[in-house]
Amino acid sequence: MGEAYKLDEMPDGGAGTLEDMPKIQQVAGESAGPSNSTATTPHESRNRIPNRVTTLTDFRIPPRSRAKDKVVIITGANSLLGIGRAAAHQFSRNGARAVFVCDFASTHLDAHACEIRSLYAGVDVHARRFDAADEDAVRSVVDEAVEMYGRLDVFFANAGVATGRVFGDVSAEDFMKTLRVNALSVFLAVKYASKAMQRTSASKLQPGGSIIGTASVAGLRSNAGSTDYSASKAAVVSIAQTCAFQLGGTGVRVNAICPGLIESGMTKQTFDYARSRGTTGKLGQLNPTRRPGVADEVARVALFLGSDEASYVNGQAWAVCGGLSAGHPFVPGKLA
């Protein structure tokens, strides 16, 4: 949704350091599951106010169980404002054994890894730079995870690019580039992660895992993105549904997440432009929630889909759009 840019062109600033990292915006309260600690964390009560956007505070989270011992690969994790970074935090704070944060751009990857290590005890964080649509690279990171930990549990295929051009201005070459990054990357994630997830080891006695592809409401409804972007995101939904059936009986689940208008690296200039004009109140006005979303709200859905709590959720497209995809947008009073 919104005007978007290639990952290596996102206006996130220069080389990132831990000190310069912005806090992750949150709307909901604590996501972590049960732990040995029953204490309320400093931001739990503060975050229970509906629709209040807060930030992730700097304190060490006690071990949690929602993603306990899971090995997780996340692509599209470089952006400071992105869903990938937010998801890496959610899996880490919920007990993941290891998280691979991956992207073609590497400006902030090392800083992300340092930040996660400083906040969450017991999680190994690995920053990897590669093209998520490169078959050898995807196979390599999957093999590395299995070699290091004897298992792979979650692959969040979140890499993506987009343009805001109308179809007449999109060349055939650009159309295929968009499909390559947005759709082929998800296909490759399913192809190689599903094989690895079926392996068992001393630390993983039962086969299975969760593969999550980032699609979009643009893949569900028209007029929510450019033609090439929308086509690629519809392909992600189809890949998830088709592969879920072809992987039947293996214990591997495949689902798609379909974000609406989310403030992220991909939409940063749209939000900055609205702020400069004083029109931020118009952002998200077409959905019944009457606001745009933040990356953490999508990351929490990824956490759920990657957890055992979603063990009966398979082959689905989860819209995280404030209700935008539930109806046909209209301007009140102007139906005719």
Strand partners, 155: 73, 211
Look up 229 and say whether it is catalytic. yes
Selected catalytic residue, list 149, 192, 229, 273 = 229
Question: How far is residue 282 from each of residues 255, 264, 285, 319, measured CA to CA in Å?
Answer: 31, 17, 5, 21
Please report, for residues 194, 268, 271, the alpha-carbon distance to residue 76 in angstroms, rounded to integers and kept in the order given.
19, 15, 20
The whole-angstrom separation of Cα 21 and Cα 99 is: 19
**Residue 260 · residue 1 · CB < 8 Å:** yes
Active-site residue list: 229
